[in-house]
Structure 1
């Protein structure tokens, strides 16, 4: 008997494989791995999933550091601070306690203080660096101590970005089955995000009896969100009222969608208006003025050459200024209201994880490729820095900067282009799904059988990508005799698995449930849901336009204007430094002849700095390296800022922005240097050379 069962199972597997191959051949689609169909589980599974994603996740570096510091040197904060840290860590889902946070902050500050004091006493770093060191101590302490609060704000923004989708899922579910608790379950299943974690935690709190009833739990949850996202709180309250106001249930559903969409639109509009001053501050104080301020550097060298050291400029421009710019950018993004999160691509097959890309089925680490691409340029640049010719050494330093920028660009490009393509396809399909759903609902409502209705929709939408979904459904129903549900959700050849969109999958699940009541109910659900989706799409497009007006100017400044100004600045600085070097050689003789005696104060200030053989405290190629590295840092920070304004925390989009802005920006910077120096460098030096000789 066992052999017969085994043969039967093997035959069944072969038959399924034949079906899949026939489907792929008919539709000319590449073979992909089909994920298992997700099933609905009772509450214990919900909480187990919550634990797997949040509580038993691998500890972050911050969590490990807090644990270590608490064990090494446990310190207890005051009661008020303790309560605040506890609330923040809960909101941020950080596995730390107040003692660990406070101990880590104090320990790191003490360690930095020891280093600064040692450097001041034994290494003679100077009072300026000592002051910066103490500023760094205060900044580090505040960063570590306030990290849970900052993380809680970020988590709140990430959760809020899925609020519209959560309400949409709940309304879609409640139209088929008016039960808010079931709607919360449905939303938590289809949100693989922090808001999904939050909803699963709510369900577990209801199950374990933490609240006397599900209604009490929802009231508490609504209250918690009142200050974070007022529209989300109001929408949940409206859905809760449908239990006591059944005659207005349908209109309340529509009102709920309007509340969350209008609130999101208004938040984005006010945020975009408030962004103008901060963005001006970022550009003026963080980029333009610092770069233009470097023009004054060669003039400063004339008067205080003994006090000017390259380390000061490096620290100020390549460490301090980017740190300040990062703090400003981070603060602005922390005030960003909820809009829309990018589509989830976690269920998409053949999509590599972060840090890798897919090549012929193999996952390839990206960083070795980025290193190999840039290493020859970096080595060539380092070797050429010793060239005695000023122009050549500056060019070699530019090669070094370009190598660093190319490495970062290659890494960001390889880590984003495959993922961005999949995400773009999902966005396109979801946008087209609205039209398809509306047409399908109207055709079915007219009494047309489901199979014929699908064929009509296929014909109407044959030029759109979403038509492929209905091609697969139609083929499954005709060739294999599947029902509409089987044609969509069959584990082997179901059409839904070829389109890894949580939105499409969840909506089709709801429509299938509605069709079990009667076909007209399913058709009505399709039309209503398509109207909801259209409203969501319109608001999303409007928000993109609102924020686009604000970010487009900053993108232009980051890619073109700022690099161009930096290139001109480097040209002017190099010309002035070369002139000063030549003048120094000539004036050395004057200082030697005068012996320093009989000169006025003004003459001494101008002549004595060159008495050491015409050498300057910073070489032209060093100056270019400082500016070039600063440009790379600011381009990266602005890429994070621009993507954060639109999508919030989105590593894929951030990498896409980084390689685009950084690569274009560094090319503009190099072109600006060569063009301006070719036009003015030789002419100016030629005019001044006779003066130096005389």
Structure 2
């Protein structure tokens, strides 16, 4: 009996030992899995609600000290360095409402400067410009040029003084472009954990740019006790946004009540919140597009057509006002002042732009070169030396030909100079945009298809199928879509023994790294968290989020269509109308200059022959224009001024159009600029050549009088 009992004890001990070993192995596996998961989270810099802890876990104050260190570090932009230097050289302290207003603008724009520094810099620049202009007047630059220079000095000083306000508006516009995504991220988080602070933090960590900074600053203020409670902080934040983006403020206000309602009402509230911000954004875009008609008509007429057509009168003005009006004034007015005026007008129009959608971030994409660099093989090379190497030979060759005495030949060489400058910029823009646009287009395509993929996968999971089977069914239903490739990669990884989480996010084989969309990554993480509760919860999340994404995509398409109709006329202006008018203007100016040259030559013969001249002939020959000797401006010089203005106009309109449609988007701007410049230069050259070939010689023979 004792022997049997001892045997039982030994068996139980062995069994217990085996069970303990299995438990230890299981714990070790979970620990390893948790470590891998943490590593992936760290790499992606995305945080999700931790399992078993639905409430918001406050970030460490050190994170926000680091945030402040990044935002409030020593001056690093040119404006910040200049303001800090000016404050030391010429400190002009201001107080009261003006100082408070500038300080608020600096904070809103995240500019590390003081109101004293801004005012000091504006005053210092104005003083330096004034001293230089006075010295120039003593050296004989002329009163008219002096007036222009004082105008530029005053405009520059005002621009510096107003720079914080302009930057604050730009930052607000960039923030507004991310508000829809911000609300989406918050709802995605709050579906699994109905906590507004956690939703704010999740949105801040997944967004890029100023709105992310703003949300991080709000959370930091909550952490350090700037606001007594989180609800008061969010209420204050909503109040501030009411004057900037009413839809965003209303959506945040609606989300404040999520924690105090039941699950059914909560889902209703989420749907209503998405509808509020999407419908509000669509309506604002419609109103903005309608209001753009008048500014665009003004830009069309006053900024491009009338100034270019007015250039035809300039050669005649020089005859009667050569002592006052010099060719350099034409260059200064048309190639410096007028483009500056157009730029400021465009900036004002853009400052009233409603939120649209920001473009996907490609900085984490595999093989994506940095801005200003081109991928060549396995390395990247700077683009500007290539652009200079393409441009400089053309410009240098044309420079030596512009001194040709024949008007036609000299104009051809001067057009080559404009073409050389444009070719350099086109080369730079095309090389910089081509590779990046392809990567971004792929990301945009899979993001637009992601809602379909989520719906298919959620539908399969809701039927009770395991994850592997659901993915296979979803892939079969997504044939022809690019997003299917990502899920195919996930399926292959899972067949090799990886979990669903590892198949997506493993740092070596994870499918997400081939499709670096932060939107997709963050949503898939929240779905993974939902799947820890149950597959039914994951399926429900997928189906709901797919509807949100579908609504966002529809609004994005609507806004693109609304703004596209409005901007099409400006695109036509930049590509065809402005260069065509400029080309015809050069032909007319060449004809007028040829006529004036012919008149001058014939008057010279009258003087030599001793014949009498009429009072008008005396004025033309001996008057201010002095046509008895040389023309006030050459045809090639006139073409250079017109060509440069046409070139600058095309560049400015390219930036303007892209920012209206897509907001701050450097890659898109360079792509648009290259396309518009190519067409504009071709149209300009053809318009000049065709009109001069058809009418130039005929008009010269008909209009040249015989004396």
TM-score by length of 1: 0.91
2: distance between equivalents of 1:517 and 1:509? 13
Task: Pick one of 312, 332, 336 that aligns with 2:353.
Answer: 336
Contact 1:74 1:103 in 2 (8 A): yes
- TM-superposed deviation, 1:56: 3.1
Contact 1:317 1:630 in 2 (8 A): yes
What SS does the aligned partner of 2:43 have?
Answer: coil
Question: Residues 53 and 412 of structure 1: is their aligned pair in 2 closer, same or farther, counting only changes over 3 Å?
Answer: farther
What SS does the aligned partner of 1:415 have?
Answer: helix
Q: Where does residue 599 of structure 2 map in the other structure? A: 583
Q: Where does residue 79 of structure 2 map in the other structure? A: 62
Q: Deviations over 1:329-371 (max 9, x none)?
A: 1111111111111112122122122221111121211111110
Q: Where does residue 181 of structure 2 map in the other structure? A: 165
Q: Deviations over 1:398-421 (max 9, x none)?
A: 111100111111111122111111
Contact 1:268 1:546 in 2 (8 A): yes
**2:618 corresponds to 1:604:** yes
Question: Residues 347 and 233 of structure 1: is their aligned pair in 2 closer, same or farther, counting only changes over 3 Å?
Answer: same
Q: Where does residue 456 of structure 1 map in the other structure? A: 473
Task: Pick one of 674, 686, 696 that aligns with 1:659.
Answer: 674
**2:436 corresponds to 1:422:** no
Question: Residues 445 and 117 of structure 1: is their aligned pair in 2 closer, same or farther, counting only changes over 3 Å?
Answer: same
- TM-superposed deviation, 1:55: 2.7
1: distance between equivalents of 2:689 and 2:69? 56
Q: Where does residue 118 of structure 1 map in the other structure? A: 135
1: distance between equivalents of 2:155 and 2:606? 49
Contact 1:70 1:100 in 2 (8 A): yes
**2:567 corresponds to 1:560:** no
2: distance between equivalents of 1:611 and 1:548? 52
Contact 1:305 1:616 in 2 (8 A): no
| 642-651 vs 605-614, greater mean Cα deviation | 605-614
Give the 5 Å matches for 1:148-163: 148-163=164-179
Question: Residues 434 and 271 of structure 1: is their aligned pair in 2 closer, same or farther, counting only changes over 3 Å?
Answer: same
Q: Where does residue 521 of structure 1 map in the other structure? A: 537
Task: Pick one of 661, 672, 678 that aligns with 1:646.
Answer: 661
Contact 1:398 1:625 in 2 (8 A): yes
Q: Where does residue 279 of structure 2 map in the other structure? A: 262
2: distance between equivalents of 1:263 and 1:642? 23
Contact 2:452 2:546 in 1 (8 A): yes
| 303-312 vs 182-191, greater mean Cα deviation | 303-312
Q: Where does residue 13 of structure 1 map in the other structure? A: none
2: distance between equivalents of 1:576 and 1:179? 75
> What residue ranges of structure 2 are gaps of 5+ in the alignment?
1-39, 48-57
| 434-443 vs 675-684, greater mean Cα deviation | 675-684
**2:640 corresponds to 1:633:** no
2: distance between equivalents of 1:250 and 1:112? 62
**2:292 corresponds to 1:285:** no
2: distance between equivalents of 1:651 and 1:549? 22
Contact 2:373 2:382 in 1 (8 A): yes
| 183-192 vs 355-364, greater mean Cα deviation | 355-364
- TM-superposed deviation, 1:604: 3.1
**2:208 corresponds to 1:192:** yes
Contact 1:437 1:530 in 2 (8 A): yes
Contact 1:458 1:470 in 2 (8 A): yes
Q: Where does residue 6 of structure 1 map in the other structure? A: none
Q: Where does residue 20 of structure 2 map in the other structure? A: none
Higher gyration radius (CA): 2
1: distance between equivalents of 2:574 and 2:64? 45
Task: Pick one of 76, 88, 91 that aligns with 1:74.
Answer: 91
2: distance between equivalents of 1:58 and 1:656? 32
Please identify runs of 4+ aligned residues in structure 1 that moved more than 6 A: none
Contact 1:190 1:502 in 2 (8 A): yes
What SS does the aligned partner of 2:374 have?
Answer: strand
**2:148 corresponds to 1:132:** yes
Q: Where does residue 380 of structure 2 map in the other structure? A: 363
- TM-superposed deviation, 1:67: 0.6
- TM-superposed deviation, 1:577: 0.7
| 35-44 vs 423-432, greater mean Cα deviation | 35-44
2: distance between equivalents of 1:308 and 1:126? 10
What SS does the aligned partner of 2:380 have?
Answer: strand
> What residue ranges of structure 1 are gaps of 5+ in the alignment?
1-32
Contact 1:34 1:492 in 2 (8 A): no
User: Cα RMSD over matched residues?
Assistant: 1.9
Q: Where does residue 244 of structure 2 map in the other structure? A: 228
**2:549 corresponds to 1:533:** yes
2: distance between equivalents of 1:252 and 1:486? 33
- TM-superposed deviation, 1:308: 3.5
